[in-house]
């Protein structure tokens, strides 16, 4: 469905050039849910925005390709890309309060999305479908809520409205960018259940951008781990959570609180993510890595297949010494 190959995105700033995405490569299959995880600044959201051509100056794509159903989106004219946005590919943005128009009612915004991509749909038909969608995503008294404005919705209801708008035209690919950010735990669980229902209803492939490993464990089929703009590990969700083969992935998992066993203390990853204005040579994780050696400081590791290929043939790691982590077991 979606193939991203060697994607590079830069931002020109007064201090210099920031390489926000640096050679990212992964794919999303039909009907598959792929979770993209990493710390803030790892390049997750910029990668997602690049798919729809939403990275604006001073940002720009400087390399690689983004192929959707065999078509390179980065080479399409703006008119074709506008047709795809909200139609074949829909996005649930991180902050619905800024994504929704504050001076237009929620229902009217859903109607606009419907009629833009389904021009034969009548105004009354679009209104009825919008009310139906609000009901599908669990918003009570949908006909009355149709007329209300975003500020009259709670945070969870705004996120539900965003999901309704995203699934309105039956997309083939759904991109969810931090869909549970700033929501309390109970509402997060409801939104995750709703995303699962939306994916089942549309049979859309889903790209789930998040820093929450619990969300990934709950929803994803495969996981892509990003660090400093690069993909450092990817594989199916069971493999990543039980047999990680990159020190950064191990660090992320070991820094989480656990409910299934007694843990005296958490083990945070030492140091801080590197400045993308002046990234370290070699492996970008080496200043924080317990396995780092001279080779790591000078030679950039490539994303390569690890393991015997029998368990998870898609498992790849960008670590020179991935095999030394074979004894590491992190229980899901």
HSE value, Cβ hemisphere, 13 Å, CA-based, for 121:
19
**Confidence at residue 261, expressed as pLDDT on a 0 to 100 scale:** 64
**Confidence at residue 95, expressed as pLDDT on a 0 to 100 scale:** 84
Cα separation, 75 vs 81, in Å, equals 9
Q: Which letter, b or e, does each residue of 61-85 get, where b requires 16 or more Cβ atoms within 10 Å of its Cβ?
A: beebebbbeeeebbebeeeebeebb
Tell me whether strands 2-12 and 17-28 are parallel, antiparallel or unpaired.
Answer: antiparallel
Neighbours of 134 (CB within 10 A): 25
**Confidence at residue 298, expressed as pLDDT on a 0 to 100 scale:** 93
Q: Are residues 242 and 149 in the same domain?
A: no
**Confidence at residue 75, expressed as pLDDT on a 0 to 100 scale:** 86
Q: Are residues 210 and 235 in the same domain?
A: no
Residues of the chain with pLDDT under 50: 329-332
Q: Are residues 69 and 150 in the same domain?
A: yes
**Tokens found for residue 303:** 């994303």
pLDDT digits (tens, 9 = 90+) for 65-111: 999 999 999 888 888 898 899 899 999 888 888 889 999 999 999 99
**Tokens found for residue 168:** 């309105």
**Residue 102 domain boundaries:** 2-220
- DSSP summary character for residue 292: -
Q: What is the CATH number of the domain that holds 135?
A: 3.40.50.300
Please report whether residue 331 resides in a domain. no
Q: Are residues 129 and 170 in the same domain?
A: yes
Q: Are residues 195 and 274 in the same domain?
A: no
pLDDT digits (tens, 9 = 90+) for 239-274: 999 899 999 999 998 887 766 666 677 778 888 889
Cβ atoms of 52 and 39 closer than 8 Å? no
Report the helix count and the strand count for the chain, using DSSP H and E.
Answer: 12, 12
SS3 content of the chain, % helix, strand, coil (to 5): 35, 20, 40
Neighbours of 200 (CB within 10 A): 10
Please report whether residue 45 resides in a domain. yes
**Confidence at residue 330, expressed as pLDDT on a 0 to 100 scale:** 45
Q: Are residues 44 and 129 in the same domain?
A: yes
DSSP secondary structure of 8-40: EEEEE-SS-EEEEEEEEEEEE-TT-EEEEE-ST
The residue among 198, 220, 242 that closes a domain is: 220
Cα separation, 282 vs 300, in Å, equals 4
**Confidence at residue 180, expressed as pLDDT on a 0 to 100 scale:** 77
**Confidence at residue 331, expressed as pLDDT on a 0 to 100 scale:** 39
Cβ atoms of 40 and 243 closer than 8 Å? no
Please report whether residue 200 resides in a domain. yes
Q: Are residues 298 and 270 in the same domain?
A: yes
């Amino acid at each position: 469905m979606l193939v991203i190959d060697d994607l590079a995105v830069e931002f020109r700033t007064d201090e210099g050039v920031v390489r926000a995405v640096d050679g990212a490569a992964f794919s999303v299959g039909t009907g598959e849910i792929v979770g993209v995880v990493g710390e803030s600044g790892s390049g997750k959201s910029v990668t997602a925005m690049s798919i729809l051509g939403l990275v604006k100056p001073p940002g720009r794509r400087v390399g690689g390709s983004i192929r959707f159903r065999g078509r390179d989106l980065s080479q399409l004219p703006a008119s074709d890309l506008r047709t795809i946005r909200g139609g074949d590919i829909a996005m649930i943005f991180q902050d619905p309060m800024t994504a929704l128009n504050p001076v237009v009612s929620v229902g009217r915004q859903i109607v606009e999305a419907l009629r833009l991509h389904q021009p034969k749909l009548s105004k009354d038909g679009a209104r009825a479908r919008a009310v139906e969608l609000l009901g599908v995503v669990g918003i009570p008294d949908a006909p009355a809520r149709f007329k209300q404005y975003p500020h009259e919705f709670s945070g969870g209801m705004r996120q539900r409205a965003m999901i309704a708008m995203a699934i309105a035209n039956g997309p083939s690919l759904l991109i969810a960018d931090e869909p549970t950010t700033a929501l309390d735990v109970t509402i997060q669980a409801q939104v995750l259940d709703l995303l699962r229902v939306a994916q089942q209803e549309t049979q859309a492939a889903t790209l789930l951008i998040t820093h929450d490993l619990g969300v990934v464990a709950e929803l994803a089929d495969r996981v892509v781990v990003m660090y400093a703009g690069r993909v450092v590990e990817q594989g199916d969700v069971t493999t990543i959570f039980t047999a990680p083969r990159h020190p950064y992935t191990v660090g992320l998992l070991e820094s989480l609180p656990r409910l299934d066993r007694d843990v005296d203390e958490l083990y945070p990853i030492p140091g801080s993510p590197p400045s993308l204005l002046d990234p370290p040579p070699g492996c970008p994780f080496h200043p924080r890595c317990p396995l780092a050696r001279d080779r790591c400081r000078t030679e950039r590791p490539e994303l390569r297949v690890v393991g015997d290929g029998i368990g998870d043939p898609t498992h790849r790691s960008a670590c020179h010494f991935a095999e030394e982590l074979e004894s590491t077991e992190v229980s899901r």
